[in-house]
Structures are given as structure tokens and as C-alpha cells.
Amino acid sequence: MARREAAWRVTARELESSLEEEKGTGERAASYLLSPFGARMNRVLVAGTLLPAEPIGRDEAQAFWRARLNDPTGAVAITAGSFQPRAMAQLRAATHPRSALVVGKVHLYRDRSGVGYVSVRAEGLRSVSENEERAALAEIVRQTLDRLDLVERIEKGAAPSEAEARSEGIPLGWIAAARESLRRYPGVDRAAFRRELRSAVRRVAGETQPVPSAGPPSPSVTVTRAPPPRPPPPPPTAAERDEESVFLDLLDEVSEVSADGYADLKELLTRVAERGLVADRAEATLNRLEEEGVVEEPIVGKLRRA
């Protein structure tokens, strides 16, 4: 049985920081956006100041609107299309910034350079009073802190048992999500994020005004964040360098005698095997050479020097 996905209570800051996805497999499987702070989100609930929406795209039959929601920690894009007619009507209705609650599905888009853009496709959206917005923000911050506590507890190796989770009211799904956060985002400064929630608590206490309509300076409605840098691959060992030179010598030999100037992959692998390089070593060497840009495979099964 498929459960209805819970609406994770998250701040804009947490959404901005979430760049890891878990794609569902199989028919109608849900996909999840993983945050560094213990959320495994399909549906979310956010609260803040919603700015007037702007239409995206020129096709009137495929209307699509986007607005920016500011909360004290950051900003996130709220979208609605013709498949969410009610939410879209609500999104379009506003002509000035107002407090709002939004329930919707998270969406991660990566452009060609790998920069991620998180948005929320609204399913439900309502203008609320300032007090309602603050109450929702209080719940968002409380649950965010609960998740952070859980992540830190697991990081220390003190993961709650099933019985402990039950008596403390920790959902089992949160434990799995926290573990996945730790796995996908090693070395994230969670204490810094915890301190960043201070601005949200001030807002709950009524010490600050709604987030100004101008919002923090940002060139676009969407928030751009680079993916976490991958650690550079370890430098090749001397043995690997030897294998590479054997591989390249044979590549040159094979391509010189071929009619089209390319080295046939099968033939090359046979020759490489004759020189004592077993299949998986040869494969690894080829991958490394391709990654380094020394060798390319412009036609499937045909290699040449790049």
C-alpha cells in the first residue's frame, strides 16, 4: 500500500541546501529530495511572504506561474500549472506580498552545468494571517530541530532503537531519512544551520516584521546552488600508468592498420589481453583514459586518441 506522503515542515534555507535526489523505480514510484538536515521530501509545507506571481512560458494553453516565497531563512520558488488549477488561481490572485502557507511537491531541476534549482509545485495555497504564518513557522522550526537532533544522535552512534523511537514519538521514516542525509552529505556544518534558524525563531516571537517584499538580493526567483564538489580522484599509481601506456601503444598500433583510422574496441581488448591485462583491469584503464580526455569513443566500439 502506498502511503500518502507527509508534508515535511521545512524552511526555505533547508530547501536551498537540498541537492541530492532519490529516484523511485517502478510504476508510479515517488521520488524524493534529500536534505542535509534529515528530510526525505516528496511533499513539503512552507510558510512565509509570498510575492506576486509571474507567468512562465508563452503557451497560453499550458499556463504556468511562478512566485517567490520568502521566509526568514531564505527564499524558494513556488510554481503552479494548469494541472493545479486551484493553486494556480490562488497564485495569480495576489497583486501584493502577503503571508501564505503552501503545500506542494518539491522539484529539483539541474541545468547543464549541474547547478540545482529547487522549487515547490503548489497543490494547496492559502493567504493566512500573520499569526497563522508565525504558528506554522513555529512548527517548521520545531520539526527541523527535532530532525537535526536525530541526525546528530545517529552521527554519534546513538541511533534510537525501534522501541525508543516509539516511546519518544520519533517516526521510523525520520530515522531512515536521517541516515540517508548523513550518507549523502558527509561533512555538512549542521550546527551552523541550527544557528541560522534564529531569524525564524525571532519571527515566531514577533520580534521581526514579515520578510521584506524586496527580499535578499538575488538575480532571479530561483535560488542557484552548486552541487557539493566531488573529491578529486586519487592520482594513478605507477602500475596504472604502465597499463595506460601499454593500452595507448596498442591503440596506436591497431588504429594505424585499420581502414577507418579508428581502433576497433574488440580487437584492441583482445590485443590488450594478450599482453596480460585482464578484462576488468583493461576496462578500468579505458575508463580512466576516457575520463582524462586522452581517449574518446566517437562511434560505439571505435576508439581513437582525443
Partner 1 sequence: MPPAAPSAPPTEIRLKDLGISAAPIEFVARIVTVERREVTRRSDGSRRPLLSGLVSDGTATVRFTWWDPPRDGIERGTVLRVVGAEVREFRGRPELTFSWRTRIAPASAVEMPVLDPAQLPRRTVRELTPPDEGFQIEVRVVRIGPRTVTVGEERRVVHDGLVADATGAIALSSWSDFGLAEGEAIRIVGGYVRGFRGRPQLVLDERSTVARIEGHDLPSPGAWLTAAPTPIARIEDDGGGAALTAEGLVVGLLPPSGLVYRCPTCHRSVKSGLCRIHGEVNGQPDLRARIVLDDGTGALTVNAGRADTERLWGVTLDECRARLREQPDPSLLEEQLLHALLGRRLRVRGSGSKDDFGVTVAPDSIEPVDVDLEAAAAELAPRLGGGS
- List of residues contacting partner 1 (CB under 8 A): 1, 3-9, 45, 86, 101, 103, 123-126, 128, 131-132, 134-136, 138-139, 141-143, 145, 149, 166, 169, 171-174, 191, 194-195, 197-198, 201-202, 204-206
Closer Cβ to partner 1, 69 or 303, answer by number: 69
Closer Cβ to partner 1, 33 or 136, answer by number: 136
Closer Cβ to partner 1, 100 or 251, answer by number: 100
Alpha helices, H only, 108-171? 130-155, 162-168
CB 244 within 8 Å of CB 289: yes
CB 195 within 8 Å of CB 72: no
CA distance 64 to 58: 9
Burial class (CB in 10 A: 0-12, 13-18, 19+), 157: exposed
Q: Residue 140 CB, nearest distance to partner 1 (Å)?
A: 8
Q: Residue 78 CB, nearest distance to partner 1 (Å)?
A: 14
Query: Which position has the grid cell 558527509?
Result: 186
| Number of other residues whose CB lies within 10 A of the CB of residue 196 | 16
Q: Residue 162 CB, nearest distance to partner 1 (Å)?
A: 10
CA distance 23 to 39: 15
Residue type, 22: E
Nine-digit cell string for 268: 584492441
Residue type, 257: V
Residue type, 259: A
Closer Cβ to partner 1, 129 or 245, answer by number: 129
| Number of other residues whose CB lies within 10 A of the CB of residue 161 | 9
Paired with 306 in beta bridges are: none
Q: Residue 89 CB, nearest distance to partner 1 (Å)?
A: 9
Closer Cβ to partner 1, 86 or 275, answer by number: 86
DSSP state of 286: H
Q: Residue 6 CB, nearest distance to partner 1 (Å)?
A: 5
Q: Residue 183 CB, nearest distance to partner 1 (Å)?
A: 21
How far are the Cα atoms of 187, 214, 296 from residue 37, in angstroms, in the given order?
Answer: 12, 28, 40
Q: Residue 195 CB, nearest distance to partner 1 (Å)?
A: 5
Closer Cβ to partner 1, 39 or 263, answer by number: 39
Closer Cβ to partner 1, 110 or 198, answer by number: 198
